[in-house]
Amino acid sequence: MLLGVDVGGTFTDAVLFGDGLLVTAKSPTTPQDQSLGVMAAVDAVLRRAQRSAADVSSFAHGMTVATNALLEGRSARTALIATEGFADLVELGRQARADLYRLCAAHPAPLVGRDLRFEAPERMTPDGPLRALSAADAAALAERIAAADPEAVAVVLLHAYRHPAHELALRDALLAAMPGVHVSLSHEVVGTFREYERAATTEIDAALSPLVGRYLRRLAERAAAAGLPEPAIMQSNGGLIDLAAAAGHASWTVLSGPAGGAEGAAFAAAAADVERALCFDMGGTSCDVCVVDDGAVAEAGAGAIAGRPIALPTLDVHTVGAGGGSIAWRDAGGALRVGPRSAGAVPGPACYGRGGVEPTVTDANLLLGYLPPDAPLAGDVALDLDAARRAVGGLADALGLDPLACAEGIVRVANAEMTRALRVVTVERGIDPRDHALVAFGGAGPLHAVAIARELGIDRVIAPRASGVLAAFGLVVAPRRRDAQRSVLRTGEALNAQAIARDVAELACAARAALGAAAPAAGGGAAGGGAAGGAFARDALGADDVEIAATYALRYRGQAFELVVEASTEPTVEQLREAFENAHEKRYGYRDAAQEIELVTIRVRAMVASPVADGAELPTPVPDGDDRAARSATRRARLDGSDVELAVWRGALPPGLEVAGPAVCELPESTLLVPAGWSGRVMASGAVELRREAR
């Protein structure tokens, strides 16, 4: 059986798939040590499935350790080595304002302070060394750094993406002077040009890897003690990587959590036969949105988090601080605001009865009648209506509003924030959201989906089966993946099919080797590696099982930035030009056939598909208890400013069941709100499809 566990801000979700079962479970996230919540979720899902750890053949994990550490400013004591004269590269950045119209806004401070920045007496050019780094100079620099007692070192030298010899020499000197110190080399972490982005990413990698490594080793030990395979870790690019590689390169996992949800959403959209979808993942702390086109989530050549650039391939996911646990508050001007501060897992929303007293989106939804006051949520969370009323009532008094009006306002403000996020990935990029279906998931996503769809002019909403744990399911369907990238800067005569094929072949070899080396050797390796890791290696090394794909970043010669296009692994220059000019015309509205093009960067990915990824029929999730039939009831609620009687469908909904608004579907892990004017049915895949009725 395949096990996926995703750590969210409020809950840790687990999915167990196989033997004709799709079993889910939730457990409260444990911020002080996420591995405790992970193992609690694993225990819960195995108990519900009546299976043991010995039945688990693979274990995939999506985490927020790196993300949280970056957002909270927690990092290891880190030193940085740069080429002489370039030690302040990260602090100087691009010299662009953090906010165009807020002169007081500042960029985040570098993770490495000025006292821990060191300069190497060397200089590399794109064509080779201008000033060679001697072994004596490397050793002397390593001794100086050792005296500063760092836990990690980032090495970022000019043009190391093309000539890494000096970075490798410094690594050897550092390890000789400080055995056991973590060293991040920019050519290994990033491998592309643009010094600032490469330096900032390598700094993040070095500063977070010790923290992530400690967490992952602790998780591996607990998994091994429980008899589970060693976990594979979700990367920011939507592919799984072995635990050792993730522990050594934390920058590869900073968007691990949202990537799992995006992979699950892409699978759910394909299962519902949706070619174009907007995916909307609302959990307890944040909301992640992305676009799925032809069954795949769009990728970006780089990303950013907390104002810091990540010069690595990432799934193109946009995140805002609006979730079920987002706290509502009154600003200095007397306006109602929601988020980005969250009640999190501890204490959680006031209605969870764990000590929270501030009003949240979940409290507002309960007070409005959308959530059940008489039945626990997934994760066995009993809701306290009186606590929600007190929390929202306090804010209502401060705003001079009726408590129900305040609750409606909280929901509307949260919806506006999430609608704005969806406009960022659609309207602001020339994509018409009305041509897409809205695929809503996460514990709170289906509850807000129709209201957001109405704002965007979308007429079709889909709540996938097991939507409340779809990010964990995304881990089960995600491929094993390793990437290799290189800045080649080819133009003119140097840009030819033979040179491109040679570059792609070298990168494919590196990616395939990294994928095949993911498992520990027989009889050794990390605790819990065992047979599952060996099977991963054998699959990765089998030529028939590994998919190789390439993307190419191109620009017109003289342009500052490039566009990424997909093509075969052996493209002609004409094919690349046609793909680039199509993308350029779509993005900017014109093409220039007389202008010379430049191939900037080649990225190659090696992937081994999940056994679930072939679109096999999935069984109905096992709900709480033995009652698989939907049960109907009614409940009073406030909807669109009016008191209404909601039809309540509770439990696993059978295929073919028709639902008409106003209604609420209390699914096993989430809640779907159906306002008046919307209706739909349960699809054969188990998803609930809603459509706006003709106006």
- pLDDT, tens only, 555-583: 999 998 899 999 999 999 999 999 999 99
Q: Which value, to the nearest 10 degrees, does the dihedral of the CA atoms of residues 258, 262, 263, 269 take?
A: 160
Paired tokens of 688:
């609930």
Mean pLDDT on 163-178: 97
309 pLDDT more than 80: yes
CA angle 190, 193, 197 (to 5 degrees): 65
> How large a percentage of the chain has pLDDT more than 70?
93
Query: CA 331 to CA 335: how far, in whole Å?
Result: 5
Instruction: Provide the pLDDT confidence category of residue 669 given band limits of 50, 70 and 90.
Output: confident
Query: CA 65 to CA 9: how far, in whole Å?
Result: 11
Instruction: Provide the pLDDT confidence category of residue 385 given band limits of 50, 70 and 90.
Output: very high
- pLDDT, tens only, 583-623: 999 888 899 999 999 999 999 999 998 877 554 445 555 54
Query: CA 67 to CA 232: how far, in whole Å?
Result: 18
429 pLDDT more than 60: yes
Residue among 435, 514, 581 at smallest CA distance from 244: 514
Q: Are strands 688-692 and 460-463 parallel, antiparallel or unpaired?
A: antiparallel
- pLDDT, tens only, 361-372: 999 999 999 998
Question: Can you give the pLDDT at residue 18?
Answer: 86
Residues in Cβ contact with 445 at an 8 Å cutoff, skipping those fewer than 6 apart: 280, 281, 282, 283, 287, 463, 467, 670
